[in-house]
Each structure stands twice: as C-alpha cells, then as structure tokens.
Structure 1
Amino acid sequence: MKTILMLHGINHNMFGKRDPVQYGTITLAEIDARLQALGVELGVRVESFQTNCEGTMCERIHRALEERCDAVLINAGAWTHYSYGIRDALAILTCPVVELHMSNIHAREPFRHHSVLAEIVDGQICGFGVESYLLALRAAVSQNRQT
C-alpha cells in the first residue's frame, strides 16, 4: 500500500483554539481523521506528523526519503515564508510534494504572500479551509499514479 506523509508545521497543534476566523474550529486530530478516512477511500495509508521544532521537521523529511514515501503533503505554517532549511530538505525528496494551507496566504498580510517552498513543490493548494488537506491528498495520489 502506498504511503502519503502529511507534515503539519508550527502551531498546528493549536488548531481549534487559534484564530478561528482563519482556521475554523477544527482540531488537528479531526483533520487527521478526515485524511485517514479519505486515504482508506483512495487506497493509501496516510501518516501524519506535527512538530513545533524546525530541525525535527527537517529530520522527518529526511526520513521520508529513506522510507521511500510515495508522496508528501506539507502545511508548514509560518515556516512557509522563511524556512530555507525545510525548503532544502523538501528539495531532496524524489516523490511528489504538495504544499497546502487552510487560509489563502495570498490574501493575508503581505509577509505571508511569499512561499519559499513554492519553487520546489509540485503544487500548492490554499484557501479552502480543511478541504485544502483533502484536495492535496487527492492531488498527491493522482500525481503519484502518473509517475
């Protein structure tokens, strides 16, 4: 069975409590449950990982290469806008990588408009709330089947 790795970035453990206007009231556990359910429907295994430590995120990305994950989804949160370490780690991967965001980063504060990840990912999905996660999973599975 193919494995899709879902990487949740900084502060995502606070979903459900943090800025409900931007992120709604859904918790990270609820997002992961929805991804798991869709994964079953699509015939893939979804493994989720969340950390607030940038180095730990890079190490998990390195392991994804060693484990030969079939695709990686990443919502890097604020790291999206400045983490060249995460960008460089993702660039090492040979599988499809989809960047996603619940909010539309291009319609928010100016510092959020730029993604340092955008140049090295296969695609970006943003602005659809929790649906961004599900769309990203569908895209990764579709992209993986084409390769």
Structure 2
Amino acid sequence: MSINPAPRIIAELRPKYEIKIDLDERCFLFPAGKSVSQLLLLSDGHTILIDAVYPFNQARTPPRLVALDLDDAREFGRRLVEAVHTARTQLVGTNGIRISINVVANGYHLQFGDMNAATELFLGTGCIWRVCQGLLRIVDLIAPIESN
C-alpha cells in the first residue's frame, strides 16, 4: 500500500470560499494600466484575498490586490456601502490596512495601501453594488452573525 500526501496538500491550499464578481468595461487597475473584468474573493476561513481577473495580461501582472483579515474586511464592506449610499469619500484605516474610497464622476476610486506606492482600482457605477454584496457575502460565509 502506498500513501500519496500530494492530493491532501493541494486540497489544503484551495480556498474554502470563493465568490466571483463580474465588473463592467469601466473598471481599471493602476499602476499596471489594465482593464479588470472580474474580482475574485477567496478565503480560507481566516483571510480574505481579493484578486483581479484581467482580459489581457502580457506583462504578467500579479492578480492579488489586497489580503484582509475578517475585521478589516467587515470594516471595508461597511465603509464601501456607506460611500455608495452617501456619495462621500470614506477612509478605512486599521492596524492591518489603509484603503481610501473616493466618489468620482463616473464611479469609484479605491486606493489600497500607502499613498506613495498605492494600488488603485477604478470601478464603474454599474458594478459597485455587486462589489459591495460580494464583499459582505464572503464575510458572512466566514463568520455569520446570528440574527435576533
């Protein structure tokens, strides 16, 4: 009898939860200068990874935009919904992350990280609610809050 540990190791690397969010043609990532067609939210149950799916990627830009722990993702989701509802700029600042959410003429400008070396994601108004729902859905999958 032979025991092969490789399949178990591969299974452990797979995310427990995965949510795909379709974006529209007005979504772009900078400084890479790429169009983004989809956001992929992955989680192992502790950390939430936000990856971009590009329709073209000749430069081999990495897909990872940001990694969030549960509390940071919950706060980001709340601030994103608040920014969309009130049409005002929001700042998510915790010990783990710094994200600014700016309302612009044709959508939303999300800036991840330090101002000097930030990753910028421009989202059109047609897909912003899908992004909000997807982010809150993966937080709920990881740590559902019991209702009264």
Structure holding more helix per residue? 1
Question: Scaled by the length of structure 1, what TM-score is found?
Answer: 0.28
Question: Scaled by the length of structure 2, what TM-score is found?
Answer: 0.28
The structure whose RCO (Cα within 8 Å, separation 6+) is larger is 1
Structure holding more strand per residue? 2
